[in-house]
Structure 1
Amino acid sequence: MKAPATTVEQILLDAQATLKARDWDRLTRLARMLQRNRQWEAAEHCLQQVLAQVPGHHEAQLALADHFMIGGRADEARQLIEAALAARPGDPLLLMAFARACSSMGEIEDALAALDLAESKPGPWQARAGRLFALNLAYLPDVSAEDLRDCGTEWEKRYAPVASPRPVLPARRPGRWRIGYYSPDFCRHSVAHFLPGIFERHDRDAFEIHLYSDTPLRDEITARYRQLAEHWHELTDLPDAEAVATLRAGELDLLVDCSGFFGACRPQLFSQRPARVQAHFLGYNGTTGLRSLDYRFTDAICEPPGTEAASSEKLVRLEPGFHCYRPLTDAPEPGPLPSATNGYVTFGSFNNLPKVNDEVVALCVDVLQSLPDSRLLIKAISLTNPASRQLLVKRFEALGIDPGRIDALPPSPGQQEHLETYDRVDITLDTFPCNGTTTTLESLWMGVPVLTLPGQRHSARVSASLLSQVGLQACVVNDPTGFVETAKRLARDEQLRADWRNSLRQRIRNAPLGDPGQFVPRLEAAYRQIIRASES
């Protein structure tokens, strides 16, 4: 058997030779390797060659659908998988790929139906289908925190039952507290706006920091995480049993999950109880429902006193909040108010399309109708292709909004350009019941206020927490009528918005929300508290 290629150059040479040899299975495997090395054009070329010769090549179809999804081309992924399903109706892997595309385009009901069907078909894919179902369920407006908790708990019972009796771990070593962080997203991902600053400021005299990476797509941010880790552990290619053994070998006082059900996560690793205490911090949009996680970090606005029963984990409330934000790049300074130049107000939404449900669209329409000269700018990775942008605009047109008032933008080529787009926005309109988190903070960092309508569960209250920490309680509105009236008032108060544009960045810097020096000691005190509680 031919030795596997290891460098990008070797993979490319091997792919050329494999194409000439017409070994389509091997060429598909090499395309996957090129994807992992972020050689997108070469990977797509290989996969298109395979499908040109073998149109029904199952693995190549899945790999090309993944490729389209990574590039924000969800509509192309959906078309590809729909054609594949016509030839293989009910194929569970194709159904899951179809669900991913639907979800990315905001078609959550279709995604859930496909995942439910995939999970009903016996096989090793069931756990992943069930996990994706639990993840997508959160996007539905009428789903409660209790519903999400129960869905996660049921998934755990089926696919990752918690070890019983609890494994006996070695006696704790004397010395520093041993903290492990687990994530499949130690890369250019939203959590990179939060975790690196925390890792930089950890008290290394008191804490020994281990990072456990399940990250399939590595980049320059991955390299930065490796620099910040006292101990770096690669789990990506390890089977579950070996990954659990690696976690257990760390003799961790606390293992912190930073993913929940997102990405390429493996929540089943926690069910084997590899650490003394296990908790969730960041990365997910509320309770996981996993009994293997003892604690979850939150705050009193996201989950007020009295909501504890809706969570499977014990709540650890960090005050005034549980986020500590830092932009990935040196952000440009906020620009002047666009309304001062344009003569009209521009509202904005930069959240992913699954969050832009029909209720969100309807409320945005009410705001636009209350200010006939205003416009709305929407930007999302799923708007890469013109066809996707047209579909979004038609949702507003169907409710009476002139298409010329909606600007649907594709993703920017880089983070700097992305942040500069906020210079075109006067007021950001938040989504619900899944608020923005990174996008809310980006908006505030660029001096743009965010108007939010808080709900009952964690994901619907995150922006309220963030806004309260920078003194923008006036932007937290408890009913749709008040939301529209507040949007009108802010649109007309150009001086107030100018003051905010000039002050919001410094407000973030002055608060624990933007200052790891204030935030990390509070987090570490909470770590000590829950570790000691487990010893008593």
Structure 2
Amino acid sequence: MIDKKVSSESVNLQQEAYQYLIQSDYGKAAELYQQAISAKPSVKQYYWYLGLTLLLQGQEAEAQTTWMLAMLEGEAEQLDEWANELIEVLQLEAERQETLEDYPMAWTLRQHIREIRPSDIPNLLQIIQLSIKLKQFTGEDLHSLGVIEILQLKQGVHVNPDLLLQVLQNVLDSAPLDPWLPEFAEACLLYTDKPQTFIYVLMLAATKIAYGIGQYQRAIQLAKICLHLDAENIEILSHLSTFYIHNRQDDKGIDIAKLCCSLAKTLPEKVFACCLLLRGLMGTGGHWQEVLSLLNHYESLLLSLIEAQPALTDRTSTSRLVNSTFFLPYIRDDAKTNRWIQNQVVQLCQAGIECYEKDRLERYHQRTSHPGSSGTAVQPLKIGYLSHCLGRHSVGWLARWVFEYHDRNQFEVSAYFINYQSRLKDPLRDWFVEHADKAHKFEMNSLEIAEKIYQDNIDILIDLDSITLDITCEVMALKPAPIQVTWLGWDASGLPAIDYFMADPYVLPDSAPDYYRETIWHLPNTYIAVDGFEVGVPTLRRDHLDIPNDAVIYLSAQMGHKRHPDTARLQMQILKQVPNSYFLIKGIANQESVKKFFIQIAEEEGVDCQRLRFLPEVALEATHRANLGIADVVLDTYPYNGATTTLETLWMGIPLVTRVGQQFSARNSYTMMMNAGITEGIAWTDEEYVEWGVRLGKDEAMRQQIAWKLRQSKQTAPLWNAKQFTREMEKAYQQMWANYVEGSK
């Protein structure tokens, strides 16, 4: 190692030189190292430091020449020893530069270490770390540095597992689509000594990649790597099933969901797995017989869960259950039973959250239970909107008008974005950021979101997601705001921490207060209004679809979850009774599965399958709206109606046939039609649904009359007056606050 016979004078000279070096006086340091070399030319350490000072001044060629000269005529053993000494000097300086946050210099130093020892895996990992910090990491780095090859050798490779995991995590965050990433992750797997931590890191990244940037194939790859560590882990398998479904690999997703059902041991796991299977089956749009046969088992599991009242003491168990009743209203219109089951299940989840977040809840309650303690004046009221849908999503297209028209003298508007992905280009999301007084961007950490809402002293927190997202439910359950409201995104969640559910005179029946936990706040006209929609250039033509110009075109544009076989059968009965009519079917689902589903029902009802047309998705919402114009009549779904699609249909002036039920999801189109001044097409029974469908198909004059009324309604109807609607929402907020203050007194 370093020569220990150096005279005290030389040692002092070296120490003085090093002091100049760390003070960045490289010229003086180099001068002193040269003096030391003149005095003791055999001491190689002086050459290493002289070269270092030259390198720190940007003189890389001179630095390398200095080191090479020092190594001339050395024996093999000496060269190895000297190389180790030089690496030690460069390593220490690289660490110092990293501490100083001079990452470019640290990167340069580590590159020189790499030239001396190309297979030094800890150094290569540090180079990757620095490349990421410098934002110069590329998809080829893992390959070009030879990291994967070296790790795969296994024998003779010594690496800190914690450092390796940290590098993997950073690569996942900075370059999730790197082509070499899956192979790198598999190589890291060979060295992990904390399998559960490894799984957590990889699966967290997989969910971000899937739901943040929509790259489901990469998420599938990462989840499958985790299965090498735990092949029967329900958490991994459930995510993998969902990734497959989103990636339109439905059969694989369903098979894995069935595997989860077979592996589930506890009652909460069984409920969760059954819900997962339902999701896979319903999402295809064509497995309804299996769905209906599974319904009794699904409901019995939920009832058993409610009866057992198991203690949920961890976040994973709770998040799995919080949206486990999601599919009930898609399957049946039984408002009272569906609501009771949902209320009971989410109450169980609320109790779990109160158990594992007791201290936080108590801290929040100290402020939210006393209006004066927040320090917030009555005006402006602080309103917070919480959602993962504030962008190109149905909720985003509809909620934007409230942001547009809010009176900023009376209301301060904050937006809390869940799973905000900066990589994702979304002009509507950017619009929300610009139109909020304060915009807060989060990933998927419910505690971080709740704390921010609490620190912001929000007076009224509006939940736009309901039970469609577990993170939103957990935030709302923590009660970070004194008044909490569910609006727009779905039916009410049933969480005890929610105070109000926004409705109108039509969207809920008179009996609704009997089975809703939340107080129902009835707005005077409608629970949603818009000023309109952007409409693009249509891409559909009758001749392209081989449909005659004089034919009657029916259309249905909904996702697979909403295509109940009973309603599809009614639609075929309409088609059968209207000569020269065709049915266009469009929506997010498995195309082959949907085709098989409708063709089978058409054949059973005696309808020629040549009258069916299956349309692909289009990239832009504006194009989708323009394409609605090809339809003469739109046939709504039941027991789960259209919502945004209904608004778009009415905006385009197209007659709609809807079947009204008892639950919120079966009355969306009803309230929208009433608030547009249209009663033609509103059916209260299956028979009326068919009658209206046939009548509108045969009566061109009636269709024209409805189109004219819809055109006129744009000037007068509550449905198309978003400014008035916003004023009504604001009055509701002010009254809620007044009630809260009065109640606290």
For Structure 1 versus Structure 2, the TM-score category normalised by the shorter chain is 0.7 to 0.9
Secondary structure of 1:223's match? Answer: helix
Q: Displacement, 1:249? A: 1.4
Which residue of 2 is the match for residue 38 of structure 1?
213
Q: Displacement, 1:426? A: 1.2
Give CA deviations for 1:125-167 in whole Å, capped at 9, x if unaligned: 44344333321111232522x2233223212331213768992
Give CA deviations for 1:352-404 in whole Å, capped at 9, x if unaligned: 22222232122212212222432222212013x42443234323323333322
Moved more, 356-365 or 95-104: 95-104
Secondary structure of 2:521's match? Answer: strand
Which of 546, 564, 568 lines up with 1:357 in the alignment? 564
Do the aligned residues in 1 keep the contact of 2:569 with 2:601 (CA within 8 Å)? no
Output the CA distance in 2 between the equivalents of 1:43 and 1:468: 46
Output the CA distance in 1 between the equivalents of 2:562 and 2:311: 31
Do the aligned residues in 1 keep the contact of 2:386 with 2:463 (CA within 8 Å)? yes
Which residue of 1 is the match for residue 254 of structure 2?
78
Give CA deviations for 1:223-250 in whole Å, capped at 9, x if unaligned: 222222211234433253x433222212
Do the aligned residues in 1 keep the contact of 2:531 with 2:722 (CA within 8 Å)? no
Higher helix share: 2
Kindly indicate whether structure 1 or structure 2 has the higher relative contact order, using CA contacts under 8 Å at least 6 residues apart. Answer: 1
Which residue of 1 is the match for residue 327 of structure 2?
136
> Cα–Cα, structure 1 residues 8 and 63, in superposed 2: closer, same or farther, change >3 Å?
farther
Which residue of 2 is the match for residue 21 of structure 1?
187
> What is the correspondence of 1:199-348 to structure 2 with a 5 Å cutoff?
199-215=403-419, 219-220=425-426, 221-240=428-447, 242-285=448-491, 287-305=492-510, 307-325=512-530, 329-332=534-537, 341-348=548-555
Which of 160, 184, 187 lines up with 2:350 in the alignment? 160
Q: Displacement, 1:519? A: 1.5
Unaligned segments of structure 1, at least 5 residues: none
Q: Displacement, 1:87? A: 8.2
Do the aligned residues in 2 keep the contact of 1:51 with 1:57 (CA within 8 Å)? no
> Cα–Cα, structure 1 residues 454 and 164, in superposed 2: closer, same or farther, change >3 Å?
farther
Give CA deviations for 1:256-310 in whole Å, capped at 9, x if unaligned: 111111134432332333212111111113x432332111111111125454223
Q: Displacement, 1:441? A: 1.0
Q: Displacement, 1:176? A: 0.9
Letter in 1 for 2:326: L
Do the aligned residues in 2 keep the contact of 1:98 with 1:111 (CA within 8 Å)? no
Q: Displacement, 1:528? A: 0.7
Moved more, 499-508 or 252-261: 499-508
Scaled by the length of structure 1, the TM-score of the pair is: 0.86
Q: How many residues align?
A: 531
Output the CA distance in 2 between the equivalents of 1:156 and 1:227: 34
Output the CA distance in 2 between the equivalents of 1:408 and 1:486: 23
Unaligned segments of structure 2, at least 5 residues: 1-162, 191-198, 355-360, 368-372
Q: Displacement, 1:526? A: 1.2
Output the CA distance in 2 between the equivalents of 1:168 and 1:251: 12
Output the CA distance in 1 between the equivalents of 2:419 and 2:383: 19
> Cα–Cα, structure 1 residues 156 and 87, in superposed 2: closer, same or farther, change >3 Å?
closer
Which of 385, 391, 400 lines up with 1:187 in the alignment? 391
Do the aligned residues in 1 keep the contact of 2:254 with 2:281 (CA within 8 Å)? yes
Output the CA distance in 1 between the equivalents of 2:495 and 2:214: 36
Residue 100 (structure 1) aligned with residue 279 (structure 2): yes
Give CA deviations for 1:330-361 in whole Å, capped at 9, x if unaligned: 44489999999532212121122222223212
Do the aligned residues in 2 keep the contact of 1:193 with 1:326 (CA within 8 Å)? no
Moved more, 65-74 or 49-58: 49-58
Moved more, 484-493 or 213-222: 213-222
Q: Displacement, 1:465? A: 1.0
Which residue of 1 is the match for residue 171 of structure 2?
5
Do the aligned residues in 2 keep the contact of 1:334 with 1:501 (CA within 8 Å)? no
Output the CA distance in 1 between the equivalents of 2:208 and 2:663: 40
Secondary structure of 1:266's match? Answer: helix
Which of 371, 391, 406 lines up with 2:578 in the alignment? 371
Larger Rg: 2
Letter in 2 for 1:133: S
> Cα–Cα, structure 1 residues 180 and 31, in superposed 2: closer, same or farther, change >3 Å?
closer
Secondary structure of 1:433's match? Answer: coil
Secondary structure of 1:407's match? Answer: strand
> Cα–Cα, structure 1 residues 456 and 35, in superposed 2: closer, same or farther, change >3 Å?
closer
Q: Displacement, 1:199? A: 0.5
Letter in 1 for 2:528: H
Do the aligned residues in 2 keep the contact of 1:95 with 1:115 (CA within 8 Å)? no
Q: Displacement, 1:35? A: 2.8
Do the aligned residues in 2 keep the contact of 1:78 with 1:101 (CA within 8 Å)? yes
Which of 429, 433, 452 lines up with 2:658 in the alignment? 452
> What is the correspondence of 1:478-489 to structure 2 with a 5 Å cutoff?
478-489=684-695
Moved more, 58-67 or 209-218: 58-67
Q: Displacement, 1:96? A: 4.8
